[in-house]
Amino acid sequence: MKKTLIIIVLLACSVCKAQTIQTFTELLNLFPEMKFPLKYKDGIPTEVNVEKVSKEDAVKYLHFTGDDLQMNDYSYDHDEDIKYDNWVEVLPGALGKISKTNYVALVYVLAKYPTLGLESYVSKLSTFSYEGQHIDSIVIRSRFTRENDWTDIVFLNNNTFKVFQYQTNIENYDIRNNTYYLIDENLPRTVVDITDYHIDENGKIKILRTYPKQYLKNEVIFYRHYRIDSDDPMNEY
């Protein structure tokens, strides 16, 4: 009886594992293979016109919560001073994948653009085994405020990349009541941190090098777009 029970349990585990691998393989098929080098000036895909990851797979493999996948696209009646909630589902976009011998890396984005309220954009690179086991993750592109932050990336090849984190240079602003007042128009308005990363043969994401902060003359929002004659350090790539 015990042997029969053990065999049944082993068979059930084998079936479950096979189903998980099949489901993860189907998820991988949503992601196009990426080509390198790749930089934002060449048009790294955004959330527009890409395949969407199902809610089930987003929770199971990409580790989103149900709340992550909700957006309150509310409206507001100014005459009555009433807010009307409108919760809608938002799904991650499958931007690309990097297929290696021992792991696969997925690049995906969750973007929220409510009619009112704060917009957000977060793109991650996550590595997995081919059985769907999560190995490592890093945010590679993001925006959480309208004007004061931006993260972007340059892929040098299929396992090495640079992340640029732009922030408002708060030393040159007087912040009162959540409003930023420029102190000196001749001083830098943005500071950027640059970090080199490498994905090792096992799919772990490791820091190769960090650079001294760079100070830039324009506001953060200026550097969200490619400007060939600007002081943006991403222009080197």
Q: What is the 3-state secondary structure (H, E, C) of 35-88?
A: CCCEEHHHCCCCCCCCCECCHHHHHHCCCCCCCCCEEECCEEECCCCEEECCEE
The pLDDT of 214-222, averaged and rounded, is 95
Per-residue pLDDT reduced to its tens digit, 77-100:
888 889 998 999 999 999 999 999
Tell me the per-residue pLDDT of 61-74, one tens digit each, with 9 for 90 and over.
999 999 999 998 88
| Cα 30 to Cα 173: distance, rounded to the nearest angstrom | 44
Phi, psi of 141 (to 5 degrees): -145, 140
Q: Which residues of 36-64 are buried (b: 16+ CB within 10 A; e: fewer)?
A: eebbbeeebbebeebeebeeebbeebbeb
- 184, with CB counted inside 10 A (0-12, 13-18, 19+), is exposed
pLDDT tens-digit readout, 168-213: 999 999 989 888 899 999 999 999 999 999 999 999 999 999 999 9
Question: CA 81 from chain center: how many Å?
Answer: 36
| DSSP code of residue 234 | G
pLDDT cut 70: percent of the chain above it: 87
Alpha-carbon distances, residue 31 vs 101, 160, 197, 203, 229 (angstroms): 17, 19, 22, 18, 34
Retrieve residue 205's tokens: 């994401």
- Output DSSP code: residue 170: G
- If one counts every other C-beta atom within 10 angstroms of the C-beta of residue 120, the result is 16
Q: Is it the case that residue 15 has pLDDT exceeding 60? A: no
